[in-house]
Structures are given as structure tokens and as C-alpha cells.
């Protein structure tokens, strides 16, 4: 054993580059722009390539076929080449690579953790465990035809077609590990090596046909539109897999000799909508708009496919009124209001209204032969339909001092009626995943404000903008309801979505007498107070019997708080609140500068995942964020409880307590760009239109109130199962723009 920083061994910094070139031009009847792009970016892995290369060509054209008929045609082709390690990426590093085992033994061979038994070594697996390569071609065509019929009528039709073809090759190779003496260890990485090729074809097509009418009669302006839109998604895949690949430097299905597997698959889904819109204004002072639409989705059963939606909005341009004419300082003032409804089908699969038959194999017989198996896949409901979203909005826009100061304020209320929510049924139902049904009613209220200032003084111009928004929701009604328990609860009637319910605590035990007294009161049947080897000790968390039933638990059928929530209390939701952004920009002669900050003033985070607090699980690497902050005999006034490797006790001490809940208030510099353009005196000599050098940086720094030091924008996870996990990354770039 020796100190070994497995994180530093694996991660470092990497570089990328990006080039683009575009040509544009026009004639009387046609305009075009042709652009080429090339970029490569690489993940911050030290030991293997993990990157993406992109090549793209795009041609945008516009033709005036006649005075009344125009055609827009855009085509593009893009190729993405992604190459990553195929194995050992992710959680293994955190949980299975102790920082006391070096990556290699003295002979330079991959070292097996724990000498012999450990079958993991992330760096070995990432380096030699095979590759996951994807080559993807994206082709897009968009056509748009406009025709001016006359008498105020016009029509347009559009069609787009996108196709993606990709091929992915995943090679999983066996990597031998060695003990310290250079002998092959018992376990190796990827004991069942394989190679798999997956071909996928996806297409997405949309069509639209619209008839427009526009008419102005002195002070009255009319606009009307009727139309139809339709879209369709198709997906097809074909894959083959063979086991038993030996690394001979050739990676194709043909070279593997073991068991063969193959798989097909195709899905399709579509949307179809009828639309109509009418606008009217009087002298551009009073504006009204009505929209009606009828949406159909293939994801619902017959009879439930369609739903009707509509909206109405009104506006008043106050500054256009005659009584405002003398108010020079005011350049814009507009009051708006709207009410409307729309549909949502997120969370519904393509054929969720029909049960399918799943198939597989099982082994029987003296010789061991595979027999077919089949099963009805899940429970379905045919009766659900669109979720209705009702939106009300009131807003104001204003500008002062010749548009130097401008801003807006909006407030809204959104009601999701028949929200698709997963209801919790008794598991006697026997279906692990019950489909979501239209059983919830959610009300969201929010506001958005924006204020911008811009000014120019000689060669110097600058702008400052701030915006902030917030919204709060409450699940007014949920059929079937759901019980409150400790932790993050997605849907609880009467509370916001994703509400936290935490244990109220009353400090830490400071004396054995306090522990004994607590045990005497609460250590009994039905209570969650840990016992035996995990029994409470000095320095552990004291949870409060909030409902006074003599038990410490998070349920109590007779609870006066209602919902049987026992000793947990509501502590806010997981959504970020008071989200703000700050834009800064300035120009001086050839120099330009922009910066964008982003942040939030309030967000509750109860860290999840194996690295959330010390010794949630004793075996993985541990977070060091709480070092020095926990109770010890020398630090009895600590906020956080005593460290213990008894995981039941560690979980009692930390999980979902009010003390462990953090408020995430942060500000981060998201982007910073500083550029310099050469003056025209030099450009003229070089016969160039523009030469600009720039520096840009993303996520350069932040201030955060999080105690545990995780990325404030990464949500609640401490570790993800995602194969491509990276620690938080900062990016800087240098570039040059050229124009001829």
C-alpha cells in the first residue's frame, strides 16, 4: 500500500480546437451562404482518448422564383466521430479504487486492487478495456415555399427532412491484472469480452401548410392564419454482438468466435395539428390575438388522440396614446395580458396504450439448451390523454431615455390539469412500473423581471443587464394521494413537486446521560432509533419526536400533522429559486468585452449518492468536505455529527436531517470573452475585412454557499452511474475570426 491519487492519475486537462469558414453572396434573384465547420474537443482524461470530432457543411439559399413566389432551401451535412473508452468509466473509481493502491506494480503491470482479489482498476480498464466508437452522419433538408396570392392573401408551405445514420462499435476487452509480485491476479477486468456493432437510422420529418390573410383598413389592422402541421419520427436499429473477442488489434464482429447475439427494433410516432390565429389592432395601440388549435398524437389510444386548445391575448401600447406624446423621456410602454391552454404528452411512450409481449430465453435440459420465454410487458392504460396546461400572464415592457434604459416585468400562473403523474399503488398490483395517468393538478405561480442599460460615450460603449425570475408550484390535488416520508418526495398532495421532508434535530448528544435518556424514551418497537452495534453514542444526532407519539419515525397514521408524516417536516423544494443572470458588455476602439454571470439565491440540496456524506457506505472513497466540521471530543460544538464507519448509524446521523440540508446560493461566471479587432488601416493593407483575436472562458469561477463543495449547478447527485463521468470542468479558448 502507498498513497495513490487515483483521481489525479486519471484526470488532467486537455485541449480542443474549432475552425469555421463561411462564404456568402447574393444576386437580384438569389442569396446564398455556404459554411464549413471543423471542431475537435477532448475530455480531460489523461490515460485515454475521449473526444468528439465534428465536420459540417451547410448551404442556405433563397430564390425569388417570381415576384410573388419565393423558395428557401437549406441543406446541411454533418459528421460526428465520437471515441471513448468502453469500460471501467464511472463509479468504480469512487467506490472500488482505494487511494492506497497504485495503478501499476513495480514491473509496470496493472495492479489488482487489494493485491489479488480486486477485479477493478479503473485506469487499467479505461486504458486497455476497449473502445466505444460512434460515427454519425446527419443530413438535413428544409424547404420553404411562399406565395403571395394577392388581395391580402398569402400561402406558405414548408417541409423538412432530417436523417441520422449512425454506427456504433463497442469493444469490451479483457484486461489482466497483476499482484505486486507480477503474478496474474485471480480476477481480471471484463471477464466476458465482447464486440458489438449497432446501426441506427433515425428520421424526423415535418410538414406545414398555412394560408394567411392580412388587411389594413385605415386604423384597423387584421391578420388571420389557418394551417396544418404534421410531424413524424421513425427509428430503426439493428445490432449484433459476439462474445469471446481476443485482442489481435482487429476490432470487427467477424474476428470474435464466441456466442452471437443480435437484435432489431423500430418505433414510429407522429403529431398532427390544426391551427388558426386571428390578430387585430387599432392604430397599433390596442392589440388582440386569438389562437385555436387541435392537437393529435399517435401516443394515445383511439378516441383519446385529439384535444382542443386555444388562447387569447390583449396588449396596450400606452406610449402611443396622444396623452403620452409630450412625455419625451418615455420611449416605450406596453401592457400585456394573455390566457390560454396547451397540451403536453411528455412521459408517454410511443405505444403505451397497448401491452406488448417481451421475449427471452431460459435454459433447460440435460445438455443445457435454450428455450424461448415470453411475458406480457407491463400494465397499460388506454384511457389517458393529453395533459392540459392553462397559462395566464400579465406583463409590462418599458423603455426610457431613448431606449437607454429598458426593462420588462411578467407575472404568470400556470395550471397543469390532469397532469401525468405516477400514482403509487400497493405493490400487490405486481407491476413494477405503473404507467403515469392524468391524476394531478399542479399550480405554478412565477414572475420574471429584466432591466437593461446601454450607453455610448465617444469610442466607448457599454451595456449592463440584469434579470431575475422565480416560480413556486403546489400540487393542489393528486388522486390516490401519497404518503409523506423522509427525503425527496416527487409528488405529495398540497406540496410543491420534489419537496424535501427532513428530520428535525436538536443538536448532538454531548453526554452518555443524554444518550441513555433518549434511548429510554424512544428506543422501542416501531422506532427507527438504531440499536445493537449501531447504538447511539455521544456525538450522534438527536432527532426530535415532532409528532409526540413516543416513536422516532417518519410515519404515524394518527399524526395530527396529517398525511402520517411522523417526525419529518417540509423544508422547501429542490428547485432553484430567484435565478438571476447578469450581462456585461463593453467596446472601446478595437477591444470588445462581454461577461455573463449566472446564479440563484435559494435552492435546497440534500446531497444524494454514495459520496454524499462520510461513511454512507464504508468501502468507497469518502468525501473530505466535512473534515474538521464534525463532532469530536475536542470539537463538541460542531455542527455535524461524529464520524462513524457503522453505516446504519452514519445514515441515522446524516440522511435527510435538517442540518444536512444545504442552501445552495451561488454566482458563477459562465462566460467571459475579450476580443481585439485590428483597425481598418491595417486591414486595408492586408485586403481583409476583419481580423479579430479573442479569448473566451466558460465557468471560470464561482462563489457558492454549498458546504460540501460540489458543483452548484449539478443538482443533488454526488456520483452518477453515468459511464462518462467527469469532475467539474472549466474551459478556456483562444481564437481568431477572419473575414475577406
Partner 1 sequence: MKKIIISLSAVLFLLVGCEDTFLDLQDLDSVTEQVYFDEPQNFEDASNYFYRGLHSPKATKGDGFAEITDYGTELNGYVQDYGQGINTATDEDIYWNNAYDYLREVNLLLDKADAYTANGGNAADISKYVATAYFFRAYHHFRLLKRFGGVPIVIEVTNVDSPILFAPRNSRYEVVAQILADLDLAIAGLPATANGADLGKISSIAATAYKARVLLFEGTWEKYVGTATDGDGTNSGAGSTKPSGYPAVDAMFNSVVQAAKAVMDSGQFEIWNKNADPNMENNSYKWLFSIEGADSNPGGYTKASNKEFIIQTIFDYESTNRIGSQFTQINFGRNAPTQVALDMYSTLDGLPINKSTQFQGYAKQSDQFINRDRRMWGNFGELILANGSRQISAIGSVGLSNLSNWKWTTWNNYRSVREEGYNYPHLRYAEVLLTYAEALYERDGSISDADLNLSINLIRARAGIAPLTNTLVTTNNLNMLDEIRRERTVELYMEDNNHWNDIHRWDTAKTLLNDDLIGYVIEGSEYETNTALFNPAIAIYGYKNDYPSGKGPVKALIIDPVSTRIYSQKNYLWPLPINETVINTNLKQNPGW
331 scored as a contact of partner 1 (CB under 8 A): no
Strand partners of residue 608: 717
520 scored as a contact of partner 1 (CB under 8 A): no
- Which residues in the 109-138 window bind partner 1 by CB under 8 A? none
Cβ-in-10-Å burial (0-12, 13-18, 19+) of 15 comes to exposed
Cβ-in-10-Å burial (0-12, 13-18, 19+) of 145 comes to middle
Binding range to partner 1, per CB under 8 A, among 6-14, 97-105, 223-231, 710-718: 223-231
- For partner 1, give the closer residue by CB, 6 or 146: 146
Q: Which of 13, 20, 266, 617 binds partner 1 (CB under 8 A)?
A: 266
CA atoms within 13 A on the CB side of 401: 9
C-alpha to C-alpha distance for 115 and 589, rounded to whole angstroms? 64
Cβ contact 694:674 at 8 Å: yes
490 scored as a contact of partner 1 (CB under 8 A): no
488 scored as a contact of partner 1 (CB under 8 A): no
C-alpha to C-alpha distance for 247 and 193, rounded to whole angstroms? 9
463 scored as a contact of partner 1 (CB under 8 A): no
Q: What are the Cα distances from residue 179, in Å, to 111, 112, 125, 630? A: 6, 6, 16, 37
Listed residue (693, 723, 704) closest to 666, CA to CA: 704
Q: Residue 723 Cβ, how far from partner 1 at the closest point, in Å?
A: 21
549 scored as a contact of partner 1 (CB under 8 A): no
Q: Residue 183 Cβ, how far from partner 1 at the closest point, in Å?
A: 15
Q: Residue 101 Cβ, how far from partner 1 at the closest point, in Å?
A: 19
Q: What are the Cα distances from residue 625, in Å, to 5, 76, 175, 657, 707? A: 17, 48, 34, 17, 7
277 scored as a contact of partner 1 (CB under 8 A): no
- For partner 1, give the closer residue by CB, 241 or 607: 241
- For partner 1, give the closer residue by CB, 45 or 92: 92
- Which residues in the 591-610 window bind partner 1 by CB under 8 A? none
- Which residues in the 296-325 window bind partner 1 by CB under 8 A? 296-298, 305
365: alpha, beta or left? (left if phi > 0; alpha if psi -120 to 50): left
Contact string 71-110 vs partner 1 (x = CB under 8 A): ----------------------------------------
439: alpha, beta or left? (left if phi > 0; alpha if psi -120 to 50): alpha
Q: Residue 372 Cβ, how far from partner 1 at the closest point, in Å?
A: 5
Cβ contact 605:662 at 8 Å: yes
413 scored as a contact of partner 1 (CB under 8 A): no
428 scored as a contact of partner 1 (CB under 8 A): yes
Strand partners of residue 333: 398
Q: Residue 606 Cβ, how far from partner 1 at the closest point, in Å?
A: 16
232 scored as a contact of partner 1 (CB under 8 A): yes
143 scored as a contact of partner 1 (CB under 8 A): no
- For partner 1, give the closer residue by CB, 350 or 507: 350
Distance, CA of 117 to chain centre: 38
Query: Hey, what's the cell of 573?
Result: 423544494
- For partner 1, give the closer residue by CB, 25 or 430: 430
Q: Residue 379 Cβ, how far from partner 1 at the closest point, in Å?
A: 7
Binding range to partner 1, per CB under 8 A, among 269-277, 334-342, 389-397, 728-736: 269-277
Any idea what the Cα angle at residue 250 is, between residues 249 and 256, rounded to 5°? 115
269 scored as a contact of partner 1 (CB under 8 A): yes
Cβ contact 589:461 at 8 Å: no
Helix (H, G, I), strand (E, B) or coil at 133: strand
Which secondary-structure segment (H or E) carries 359? strand 356-364
Binding range to partner 1, per CB under 8 A, among 50-58, 265-273, 630-638, 707-715: 265-273
184 scored as a contact of partner 1 (CB under 8 A): no
647 scored as a contact of partner 1 (CB under 8 A): no
Q: Kindly report the number of other CB atoms within 10 A of residue 146's CB atom.
A: 18
Listed residue (540, 666, 545) closest to 602, CA to CA: 666
213 scored as a contact of partner 1 (CB under 8 A): no
Cβ contact 63:29 at 8 Å: yes
- Which residues in the 335-394 window bind partner 1 by CB under 8 A? 350-351, 354-360, 362-377, 379, 381
258 scored as a contact of partner 1 (CB under 8 A): yes
- For partner 1, give the closer residue by CB, 12 or 550: 550
21 scored as a contact of partner 1 (CB under 8 A): no
Helix (H, G, I), strand (E, B) or coil at 91: helix
Binding range to partner 1, per CB under 8 A, among 266-274, 283-291, 498-506, 540-548: 266-274
Q: Residue 332 Cβ, how far from partner 1 at the closest point, in Å?
A: 38
Q: Which of 152, 240, 270, 422 binds partner 1 (CB under 8 A)?
A: 270
Alpha helices (H) in 506-573, listed in sequence order: 512-522
Amino acid at each position: 500500500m502507498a498513497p495513490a491519487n487515483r483521481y489525479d492519475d486519471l484526470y488532467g486537462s486537455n485541449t480542443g480546437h474549432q475552425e469555421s469558414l463561411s462564404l456568402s453572396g447574393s444576386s437580384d434573384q438569389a442569396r446564398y451562404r455556404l459554411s464549413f465547420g471543423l471542431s475537435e474537443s477532448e475530455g480531460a482524461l489523461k490515460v485515454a482518448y475521449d473526444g468528439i470530432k465534428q465536420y459540417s457543411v451547410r448551404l442556405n439559399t433563397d430564390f425569388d422564383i417570381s415576384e410573388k413566389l419565393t423558395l428557401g432551401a437549406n441543406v446541411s451535412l454533418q459528421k460526428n466521430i465520437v471515441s471513448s473508452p468502453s469500460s471501467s468509466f464511472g463509479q468504480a473509481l469512487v467506490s472500488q479504487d482505494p487511494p492506497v493502491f497504485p495503478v501499476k506494480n513495480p514491473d509496470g503491470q496493472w495492479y489488482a486492487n487489494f493485491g489479488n482479489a480486486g477485479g477493478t482498476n479503473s485506469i487499467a480498464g479505461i486504458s486497455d478495456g476497449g473502445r466505444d466508437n460512434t460515427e454519425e452522419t446527419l443530413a438535413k433538408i428544409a424547404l420553404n415555399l411562399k406565395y403571395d396570392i394577392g388581395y391580402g392573401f398569402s400561402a406558405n408551405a414548408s417541409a423538412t427532412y432530417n436523417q441520422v445514420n449512425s454506427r456504433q462499435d463497442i469493444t469490451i476487452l479483457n484486461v489482466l491484472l497483476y499482484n505486486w509480485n507480477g503474478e496474474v491476479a485471480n480476477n481480471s477486468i471484463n471477464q466476458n469480452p465482447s464486440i458489438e456493432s449497432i446501426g441506427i437510422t433515425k428520421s424526423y420529418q415535418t410538414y406545414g401548410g398555412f394560408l394567411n390573410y392580412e388587411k389594413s383598413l385605415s386604423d384597423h389592422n387584421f391578420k388571420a392564419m389557418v394551417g396544418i402541421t404534421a410531424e413524424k419520427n421513425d427509428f430503426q436499429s439493428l445490432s449484433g454482438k459476439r462474445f469471446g473477442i481476443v485482442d489481435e488489434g482487429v476490432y470487427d464482429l467477424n474476428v470474435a468466435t464466441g456466442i452471437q447475439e443480435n437484435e432489431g427494433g423500430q418505433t414510429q410516432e407522429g403529431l398532427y395539428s390544426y391551427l388558426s390565429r386571428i390578430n387585430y389592432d387599432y392604430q397599433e395601440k390596442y392589440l388582440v390575438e386569438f389562437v385555436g388549435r387541435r392537437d393529435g398524437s399517435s401516443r394515445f389510444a383511439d378516441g383519446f388522440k385529439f384535444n382542443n386548445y386555444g388562447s387569447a391575448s390583449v396588449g396596450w401600447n400606452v406610449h402611443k396614446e396622444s396623452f403620452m406624446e409630450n412625455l419625451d423621456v418615455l420611449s416605450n410602454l406596453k401592457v400585456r395580458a394573455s390566457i390560454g391552454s396547451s397540451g403536453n404528452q411528455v412521459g408517454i411512450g410511443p405505444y403505451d396504450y397497448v401491452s406488448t409481449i417481451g421475449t427471452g430465453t431460459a435454459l433447460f435440459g440435460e445438455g443445457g439448451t435454450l428455450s424461448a420465454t415470453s411475458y406480457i410487458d407491463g400494465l397499460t392504460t388506454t384511457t389517458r390523454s393529453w395533459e392540459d396546461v392553462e397559462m395566464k400572464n400579465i406583463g409590462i415592457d418599458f423603455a426610457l431615455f431613448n431606449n437607454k434604459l429598458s426593462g420588462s416585468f411578467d407575472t404568470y400562473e400556470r395550471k397543469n390539469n390532469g397532469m401525468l403523474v405516477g400514482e403509487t399503488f400497493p405493490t400487490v398490483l405486481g407491476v413494477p412500473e405503473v404507467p403515469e395517468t392524468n391524476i394531478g393538478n399542479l399550480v405554478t405561480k412565477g414572475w420574471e423581471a429584466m432591466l437593461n442599460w446601454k450607453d455610448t460615450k465617444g469610442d466607448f460603449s457599454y451595456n449592463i443587464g440584469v434579470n431575475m425570475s422565480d416560480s413556486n408550484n403546489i400540487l393542489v390535488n393528486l388522486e390516490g394521494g401519497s404518503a409523506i416520508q423522509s427525503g425527496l418526495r416527487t409528488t405529495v398532495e398540497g406540496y410543491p413537486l420534489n419537496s424535501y421532508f427532513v428530520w428535525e434535530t436538536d443538536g448532538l448528544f454531548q453526554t452518555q446521560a443524554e444518550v441513555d435518556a433518549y434511548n429510554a424514551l424512544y428506543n422501542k418497537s416501531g422506532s427507527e432509533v438504531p440499536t445493537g452495534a449501531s447504538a447511539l453514542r455521544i456525538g450522534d444526532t438527536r432527532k426530535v419526536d415532532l409528532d409526540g407519539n413516543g416513536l422516532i419515525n417518519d410515519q404515524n397514521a394518527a399524526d395530527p400533522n396529517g398525511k402520517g408524516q411522523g417526525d419529518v417536516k417540509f423544508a422547501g423544494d429542490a428547485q432553484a429559486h430567484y435565478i438571476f443572470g447578469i450581462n456585461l458588455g463593453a467596446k472601446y476602439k478595437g477591444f470588445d468585452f462581454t461577461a455573463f454571470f449566472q446564479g440563484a439565491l435559494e435552492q435546497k440540496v440534500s446531497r444524494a449518492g454514495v459520496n454524499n456524506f462520510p461513511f454512507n457506505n464504508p468501502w468507497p472513497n469518502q468525501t473530505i468536505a466535512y473534515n474538521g466540521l464534525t463532532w469530536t471530543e475536542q470539537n463538541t460544538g460542531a455542527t455535524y455529527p461524529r464520524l462513524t464507519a457503522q453505516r446504519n448509524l452514519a445514515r441515522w446521523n446524516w440522511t435527510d436531517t435538517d442540518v444536512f440540508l444545504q442552501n445552495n446560493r451561488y454566482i458563477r461566471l459562465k462566460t467571459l470573452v475579450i476580443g481585439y479587432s485590428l483597425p481598418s488601416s491595417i486591414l486595408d493593407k492586408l485586403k481583409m475585412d476583419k481580423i479579430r483575436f479573442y479569448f473566451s472562458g466558460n465557468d471560470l469561477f464561482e462563489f457558492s454557499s454549498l458546504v460540501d463543495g460540489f458543483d452548484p449547478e449539478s443538482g443533488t447527485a454526488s456520483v452518477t452511474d453515468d459511464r462518462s463521468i467527469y469532475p467539474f470542468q472549466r474551459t478556456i479558448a483562444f481564437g481568431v475570426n477572419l473575414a475577406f
